[in-house]
Amino acid sequence: MDTLTQALAELRRQFTVPTDVLRDVAAAFQADLKAGLAGAPASLPLLPAYLANPTGRERGRYLALDFGGTNVRVLLVELLGDGVVHVRRRVSRRLRDIARGYDYTAPDVTPAALFGFLARLVGMVAPAEGRWPLGFTFSYPCRQTGLTRAVLLRWHKEIRVPGVEGQDVGKLLQQALTREQVRQVELKAIINDTVGTQLAGAYGDRDCRAGVIIGTGFNVCYLEEQVFAPPGQIINLECGDFARLPRNAYDNRLDAASANPGGQRLEKMVAGLYLGELVRLMVVDLAERGVLLAGAAPAGLDQPYAFTGEDLGRVLTDTAPDQPHTAALLAKLTGSAGTPAERAALRDICSMVVVRSARLVAAVLLGLLRHSDPKLERRHVIAIDGALYSHLPGYGRYLSLLLDQALGTAARQVIMRPTPDGSGLGAAIAAAAG
């Protein structure tokens, strides 16, 4: 075996989640969920959403502001009942657009500037006449004390704007709407993106009992029907924070250099924002050891997060012989297109992190299903969205396969339902319920 093949075999060993470990993670997750619900210490924050599933009879026009990933979106949504929705208007802006000269994730941004940016986007979509109810999807962990009161516990996904943690983001948004003269808009609900996704799924199918986002971040919510009286209540698990996991040296390195060391350990092994960074750390390591890209100057890869989730998708979908897109990407990042063997190695590395991601998500969903319905006596529709899930070919199929394998014949009770734009549409549904 040559040194590159050997190094790849070693990486594969570190990134493999064998079936028995997958089962252990599922059991630990289920135990943590049970402990958390009983008020015992647990690594899952369990944040009640003050909402149950919609009835399907919600109708009318609502605004939705969706903030929490790479893009901020505002939608004007018409709800027509029983799962039928039309998006009448939409704007989308990146939160960080270096080419256009702004970055609303940076530590020198004030809360007023960030929420002003959001309010102006709402103003671009809100019709001038009439009163417009708004649902606000804010996809960071919040302690809610009501549908429109949500205190940010901590930023995730590498946002570093000071002065927002500990504040009520509903109040910050309302003040910004007033400052920006968007007075025709009334905040009716604040929800997490997983909750939005579940609401969007449940609007057309009352058996939708969970919402999942696998995008920039990773998280799950579900309808808790045992602890709360009917119709139950949706709980945001914030399961990116789950920590009872086997980790390797690259996971630890990524964590130590992140904006929140020690936090979001599962998210850092699963979500799009971090998978690219894990790949970068591995490639830099192999390059430093002279095993990969020996003739190149991988300076373009020195910068943390220089290899993005989109780059990872580009490499994995580059199936043509000689991987032309991978060659172009490597040339851009390192000045060298790499040899065919090096490009193939990069694809292997990308696939290792993606496979591990799907296996850990499967473990979480298995733990959740076992908690909600140990014998799977009911139908469970799981609404799911996020760029990694929806744009990475094969991710969804692999996740379903893992659940099928683990659940056997009972797997027919579990339906994974892709729910595009669920986080935004769900905000409109929440506004209708609020």
Write the DSSP symbol of residue 49. -
Identify which of residues 125 and 142 has a Cβ nearer to ligand GLC in the complex: 142
Q: In this complex, which beta carbon is closest to ligand GLC, that of residue 116 or of residue 386?
A: 386
Two tokens at 382? 């799981």
CB of 238 to ligand GLC, least distance (A): 6
Q: What is the DSSP letter of 239?
A: G
User: Residue 156 class from Cβ within 10 Å (0-12 exposed, 13-18 middle, 19+ buried)?
Assistant: buried
Q: What angle do CA 394, 396, 401 make, to 5 degrees?
A: 90
CB 258 to ligand GLC: min, Å: 13
- Identify the three-state secondary structure at position 337: coil
Work out how close the CB of 93 gets to ligand GLC at its nearest, in angstroms, rounded to a whole number.
17
CB of 213 to ligand GLC, least distance (A): 4
Smallest distance from ligand GLC to CB 265, Å: 11
Which residue lies nearer to ligand GLC by CB, 219 or 334?
219
DSSP structure string for 111-142: HHHHHHHHHHHHHHHS-SSS-EEEEEEE-S-E
* For residue 231, cis peptide bond before it (omega within 30 degrees of 0): yes
- On the CB side of 344, CA atoms within 13 Å amount to 8
138 or 250: whose CB is closer to ligand GLC? 138
- Pick between residue 242 and residue 250 the one whose CB is nearest to ligand GLC: 242
Looking at residue 293, its amino acid is L
Contact criterion met (CB below 8 Å) for 217 and 267: yes
Through-space distance between the first and last CA atoms of the chain, rounded to whole angstroms: 63
Least separation in angstroms between residue 408's CB and ligand GLC is 30
From the CB of 197, what's the least distance to ligand GLC, in Å? 9
H/E stretch holding 63:
strand 60-67
> Judged by CB, which is closer to ligand GLC: 264, or 326?
264
Q: Distances from the Cα of 262 to the Cαs of 176, 241, 252, in angstroms?
A: 33, 9, 9
Cis peptide leading into residue 420 (ω within 30°)? no
Q: What are phi and psi of 73, to 5 degrees?
A: -125, 145
Task: Choose between 156 and 265: whose C-beta lies nearer to ligand GLC.
Answer: 156
**Residue whose beta carbon is closest to ligand GLC:** 217
Rounded CA-CA distance 218/266 in Å is 8
Closer to ligand GLC by Cβ: residue 43 or 323: 43
Output 156 or 370, the one with its CB closest to ligand GLC. Answer: 156
Minimum distance from residue 218 beta carbon to ligand GLC (Å) = 6
For the chain, the maximum distance between any two Cα atoms, rounded to a whole number of angstroms, is 71
Task: In angstroms, give the least distance from the CB of 143 to ligand GLC.
Answer: 12
Buried b (16+ CB within 10 A) or exposed e, 170-189: bebbbebbeebebebbebbb
Nearer to ligand GLC, 247 or 379 (CB): 247
- Alpha-carbon distance of 342 to 326, in angstroms, equals 10
Residues at the contact surface with ligand GLC, assessed by CB under 6 A? 68-69, 139-141, 156-157, 192-194, 213, 215, 217-219, 238, 240, 267
The minimum distance between CB 171 and ligand GLC, in angstroms, equals 19
